[in-house]
Amino acid sequence: MRILITAGGTSEKIDDVRAITNHSSGKLGKAIAEAFSAEGATIDYITTKQALHPDNDEATIHLIESTADLAAKLNELMTAHRYTAVIHSMAVSDFTPESSVTIEDLQDTIAAKPDDLALALKEKVRERTEKKISSDTDHLVIVLKKNPKVIQQIKQLQPETILVGFKLLVDVPMIQLLDVAKASMEKNDADFILANDLAEISGEKHHGYLINRHHKVKEAQTKSEIAQLIKQEVLKLEEAK
Amino acid sequence: MRILITAGGTSEKIDDVRAITNHSSGKLGKAIAEAFSAEGATIDYITTKQALHPDNDEATIHLIESTADLAAKLNELMTAHRYTAVIHSMAVSDFTPESSVTIEDLQDTIAAKPDDLALALKEKVRERTEKKISSDTDHLVIVLKKNPKVIQQIKQLQPETILVGFKLLVDVPMIQLLDVAKASMEKNDADFILANDLAEISGEKHHGYLINRHHKVKEAQTKSEIAQLIKQEVLKLEEAK
């Protein structure tokens, strides 16, 4: 049994010294790796330098930074190996910085009434010579463009793998959380979604719902309970195949 | 002898799951703490959870996240204790997110011709109800406002302390680096500036210039050389007082 786990949070460079990062401690990913390692699984583990990760004897660690790195690494690993399951717990940036300008530059650019404002701002930046953004302005404007959805690669590369996706919302009613999770399952062709709410995560306490394709919901209260639940449900589905 | 060291990089929240972070490993700060600890100094060390830091028996660690946290902690510590020197190596965000909108929202707001665009965008955000920024847009725009310069607090709080500031540029000629460092020394009333260029930092190799008020420049090639140089020059200046 070979398992691919992604964990931690991506970071997208603004310039050479600044980045937009998605926060994730990596603790849950580590717990999931330990749960599968205890079953004798071979584990590939994609994460970042900042996140906690399992020991080297439990998993092969692949370090990445950005969403583009993640997409490339997933493609490489999923082309080389067949995975029983992919547990995609990494917090992935939806957007990546495209251009950074002062608010004065923004207003100048808009005054020229461009057809495509985002494109015009990219050109504005290209005219600039300094590598680090000047701090001689009261307001800085960063324009970000949408990243491709990395999770959608997974079933395209291996339709047979069991895909566990994650959905994190912030302080929403349970019904809304489950609805968003179901929509994410459809859109990404996932077999399970672990739905969780940041307002219900602190330390080892981690409230989560694991939803399957038949919309059955199982609940867990801690990171290790979530890890065990994911392991059990993945193994059960693999046996039933 | 009591020394205050800041190290690592601040991070400024965009929303509950995303932040803009200034990258800094914390290795140089750790080396500086070790150099002063070897002289028997009592060390307060302000850093972040992500950065490497010295052992607890070498320094009292104070964890912060944002530039505002840093300003508050500096104020607290410098009100409670008298420091021989403050070594301010932390990479501090010049800007903090003020509002995040879709590019469509930005264009709508501009079309209403507000007197103050940044303020109008803040109001736009206030009208919104969701806590996490929607990802249903091709381009997202983050407006950041300038942070107060934390380094300027230091001599205001303790005119007698020896202040070592840091200036990091990216791939510039040496003359420009030294000029910018001198200007930073004047503006922030620093006694020394450690000027360095990201293009000349990799692993333990870390090229830096330590400049004093008389514009004398000393050079170092590694993190431990920089740490030793700062320690020696601070002790020398303290003795000469």
**pLDDT tens digit sequence for A27-86:** 999 999 999 999 999 999 999 998 999 988 899 999 999 999 999 999 999 999 999 999
pLDDT in tens, A90-121: 999 989 999 888 888 888 888 888 888 888 88
Query: Are residues A17 and B170, on separate chains, in Cβ contact within 8 Å?
Result: yes
| pLDDT recorded at residue B113 | 81
User: Residue B120 — very low, low, confident or very high, per pLDDT cuts 50/70/90?
Assistant: confident
* Judgement on whether residues B57 and B131 belong to the same structural domain of the protein: no
**Residue B50 is nearest to which of A15, A50, A168, comparing CB atoms?**
A50
End residue of a domain, out of A124, A146, A168: A146
**Residue A103 is nearest to which of B107, B118, B171, comparing CB atoms?**
B118
* Judgement on whether residues B118 and B231 belong to the same structural domain of the protein: no
Query: What are the chain A neighbours of B110 within 8 Å (beta carbons)?
Result: 110
* Judgement on whether residues B106 and B79 belong to the same structural domain of the protein: no
* Judgement on whether residues A86 and A19 belong to the same structural domain of the protein: yes
| pLDDT recorded at residue A15 | 86
Round to whole Å and give the CA distance between A236 and B175: 66
* Judgement on whether residues B194 and B115 belong to the same structural domain of the protein: no
Token pair recorded at residue B180: 């910018």
Distance from CA of A144 to the nearest CA of B (A): 5
Average of per-residue pLDDT across B157-186: 95
Q: Spell out where chain B has E strands.
A: 2-6, 11-13, 18-22, 42-47, 60-63, 85-88, 95-102, 139-146, 162-169, 192-202, 205-212, 217-222
* Judgement on whether residues A166 and A190 belong to the same structural domain of the protein: yes
* Judgement on whether residues A89 and A99 belong to the same structural domain of the protein: no
Query: Are residues B139 and A170, on separate chains, in Cβ contact within 8 Å?
Result: no
**Residue B14 is nearest to which of A17, A20, A132, comparing CB atoms?**
A20
Query: What are the chain A neighbours of B139 within 8 Å (beta carbons)?
Result: 98, 118, 143-146
* Judgement on whether residues B102 and B219 belong to the same structural domain of the protein: no
Asked if pLDDT for residue B198 goes beyond 60, the answer is: yes
Task: Give how many domains chain B has, as a whole number.
Answer: 2
* Judgement on whether residues A88 and A99 belong to the same structural domain of the protein: no
End residue of a domain, out of A103, A130, A146: A146
Q: What is the CATH number of the domain that holds A50?
A: 3.40.50.10300
* Judgement on whether residues A78 and A191 belong to the same structural domain of the protein: yes
Average of per-residue pLDDT across B188-206: 93
Query: What are the chain B neighbours of A91 within 8 Å (beta carbons)?
Result: 17
The residue range of the domain holding B125 is 95-146
* Judgement on whether residues B170 and B158 belong to the same structural domain of the protein: yes
| pLDDT recorded at residue B133 | 61
Query: Are residues B137 and A144, on separate chains, in Cβ contact within 8 Å?
Result: no
End residue of a domain, out of A114, A146, A178: A146
Q: Which residues contact B39 (CB under 8 A, 6 or more apart)?
A: B1, B231, B235
Asked if pLDDT for residue B131 goes beyond 60, the answer is: no
* Judgement on whether residues A227 and A139 belong to the same structural domain of the protein: no
Query: What are the chain B neighbours of A137 within 8 Å (beta carbons)?
Result: 146
- Among the residue ranges A54-68, A121-135, A144-158, A169-183, the one predicted with the least confidence is A121-135
pLDDT in tens, B26-39: 999 999 999 999 99
Asked if pLDDT for residue A136 goes beyond 80, the answer is: no
Round to whole Å and give the CA distance between A120 and A109: 7
Query: What are the chain A neighbours of B15 within 8 Å (beta carbons)?
Result: 170
